Chain A
Amino acid sequence: MRDKILRLMDDVFMLPEGSITEDSTMENTLEWDSLAHVLLMGELESRLGLSIPIEDAIEITDVKQLFERLKV
């Protein structure tokens, strides 16, 4: 599942496959801005069936937190 999420993130951020890793953060990934973040939450829900409440979603700023929140 972790890998699926990372590949989905590549796709949503329009990056070459393999760009997003467990160390990626909003800070070190130019394409991961607030807009891309919202789209990511939508795609996680519609494509992988993973949903995160809005209040929590806006607090997440890196892949580690995302995995932790999703318990994957």
Chain B
Amino acid sequence: MRTAILSNINMDPVIRLLKRSRDVFTSEGYGNELGALLNKESSLSSYDPEIVFLFEELSELTEHVTDREKASEIMGEWAGNFESALKDNVIYYVSEGYLYGADYRVLGDMFLKEDLERIWSNLLREIGKRHSNVRIFPYRALIEKMGEGDFFCDSTWYMGKILHSGKALKEIASSVNEIIERERVTPKKVLILDLDNTLWKGLAGEKDTSGVELSDSGVGRCFKDLQRVILNMKNNGVILGIVSKNNEADAMEIIENHPHMILKPEDFAVKMINWDNKADNILKCAKILNLSVDSFVFFDDSKSERELVKGMIPEVTVPDFPESESKLSETMEKIFNEYFKKNVYTLEDSKKTESYLINAKRNEEKVRAVSFEDYIKGLDIKVEPVSVEDNLDRILQLFNKTNQFNITTRRHTRGELDNFVKDPCQKLFAFNVSDKFGDDGVVCVLRTLIKKDCAVISEFVMSCRVMGKNVENIVIEKVEEKLRQMGIKTVYALYLESLKNAPVSNLFDKLGYEKTSEIKEIKEVLVDLDISEGEATCYVKQG
């Protein structure tokens, strides 16, 4: 399955882990997950994922607000945009909300954190009701299993917006893998059960019901708990059947009257209690239920019966029976997870407490179709030129650290950079980018070399933090405008492939430039840049 992992924080390590075994979309940074989903021209859209996992770090998404109203508004807006971006043929998993951070640990109101998280859960549940292809990624279970302290990692968070520890990243990746595997296989439908020594200990019909062990303690409890697991599986959609060698009356006496029986006669859709061959009985069940035997799982303590069924109807799934009775419940849970579990995970119904929770069920009026263009417009992106001289340190860092959005990957020393600034035949441009969620700072720099009335864009570097929001379009317009004012008639641009800069391989095509081999005018520039002819792709734009 073509898979995409999107997030508002750095989940690249998970993508990297998943890539070892499957086809995963290479995201361009993070924080633009809705933009990527909404934009029909985005690299995500051309990748055309079949399954999308959205890991939304709730505290980032809500900008750490602790006001219920405000948080509900922000989450509601996110949900509205998300809903507009949904495609029917794609499966979406959205992570549960979990507010991590010291700021949430010092709240006076002990219900506040839980309430804020619940606003998110309610929104997801509402979306899930409207769209069967939207499901919930069980993120909280992973945190609970490992504990907050082991799950999160502050140092990688501050260094690179990676919130999770190495161990947690592996858990998340394996959970994603499990979900995808489950999406690929059709879940089983029917669980066929034996009775003696399977649903209870002992043999029915030996005496009265007291001949079997089924109770609140000891071995009897093992079987009672197993029945509880099976009952919940039934309530979760699994069809139950009995195929057992007994006198029917003896068995029914226990099922109907034993005080510790959890499963009741009406819980079984089909009962084949007789002395016939079990394989034949299973085939009869299939006929009665009008289901094919490949949707059957057969659970029986007797190895010979299991082997018989395996041999005669290989389509039936026959799991092993545990050695120890204390493992009965766990074994059944595993059977459920492996064969029956569907990827539809419903949050337990929570009480509709206060009005703010109701508000959070995104006001229907707010639901409007949002296009990518509208979304970008709504972000209120501002691209402002800044003084190069005042930002030399940051510019140097951008030149030397940026790998993805970097057209020629030239690295420079501080001395070289100082010379560029002084050189009248060069012009550097730097830009500060901000949007309504905050200021990303100086994240973009361009270097142009001027030759009479021509300019060559030799370097164009942008932090991946702002990729995917069409910032490059605004930047290039501003640069071209400035060059026009300087009397430049023709603008050339270069692209030099590196191991990592595929995201900008067709940048200049998108920006309205044309490939050219007429490079007489800029030959000297290439020499200055230490790029041999034919090595780089050259583009041109007139006027």
Contact = CB atoms under 8 A, between A and B. Distances in A.
B166 A51 contact: no
A51 B166 CA distance: 15
Q: Interface of chain B, helix or strand or loop or mixed?
A: helix
A34 B162 contact: no
B516 to A, nearest CB: 32
A67 B167 CA distance: 24
Interface string B11-23: 0110010001000
Given A42-B165, A43-B166, A46-B166, A34 B155 contact: no
B156 A42 contact: yes
A39 B169 CA distance: 10
Contacts of A46: 153, 165-167
Contacts of B160: 34-35, 38
Contacts of B500: 33
Given A33-B500, A35-B16, A54 B155 contact: yes
A10 to B, nearest CB: 13
A54 B159 contact: yes
A15 interface: no
Given A33-B500, A51-B155, A38 B162 contact: yes
A51 B209 CA distance: 66
B166 A41 contact: no
Interface in A8-49: 12, 14, 30, 33-35, 38-39, 41-43, 45-47
A45 B16 contact: no
A35 B12 contact: yes
A38 B156 contact: yes
A53 to B, nearest CB: 9
Contact of B153 (A34, A42, A58): A42
Contacts of A66: none
Given A35-B13, A46-B166, A57 B403 contact: no
A4 B466 CA distance: 37
A40 B500 CA distance: 20
Specify which of B158, B160, B162, B500 lies most central, judged by the most chain A CB atoms within 10 Å of its CB. B160
B401 interface: yes
Specify which of B10, B153, B167 lies most central, judged by the most chain A CB atoms within 10 Å of its CB. B153
Interface residues of A, number: 18
Interface string B147-189: 0000001011011101001110100000000000000000000
B499 interface: yes
Contacts of A35: 10, 12-13, 16, 160, 162
A42 B16 contact: no
A42 to B, nearest CB: 4
Contacts of B401: 34
B159 A45 contact: no
Contacts of B403: 33-34
A43 B160 CA distance: 14
Nearest to A30: B499
A57 B20 CA distance: 27
B20 A42 contact: no
Contacts of A39: 13, 156, 162, 166, 169
A57 B159 contact: yes
B166 A14 contact: no
Specify which of A33, A35, A47, A58 lies most central, judged by the most chain B CB atoms within 10 Å of its CB. A35
Contacts of B16: 14, 35
A41 B13 contact: no
Given A14-B20, A33-B403, A34-B403, A42 B499 contact: no
The 10 A-B pairs with the shortest beta carbon distances in the complex, nearest first, are: A38-B160, A42-B156, A38-B159, A42-B153, A43-B166, A35-B12, A38-B156, A54-B159, A45-B155, A42-B155
25 contacts: A12-B166, A14-B20, A30-B499, A33-B403, A33-B500, A34-B401, A34-B403, A35-B10, A35-B12, A35-B16, A35-B160, A35-B162, A39-B166, A41-B159, A42-B155, A42-B156, A42-B165, A45-B155, A46-B165, A46-B166, A46-B167, A47-B166, A51-B155, A54-B155, A54-B159
Interface of A: 12, 14, 30, 33-35, 38-39, 41-43, 45-47, 51, 54, 57-58
Given A42-B153, A46-B153, A54-B158, 15 more contacts: A12-B166, A35-B12, A35-B162, A39-B13, A39-B162, A39-B166, A41-B155, A42-B159, A42-B162, A42-B165, A45-B155, A46-B165, A51-B155, A57-B159, A58-B159
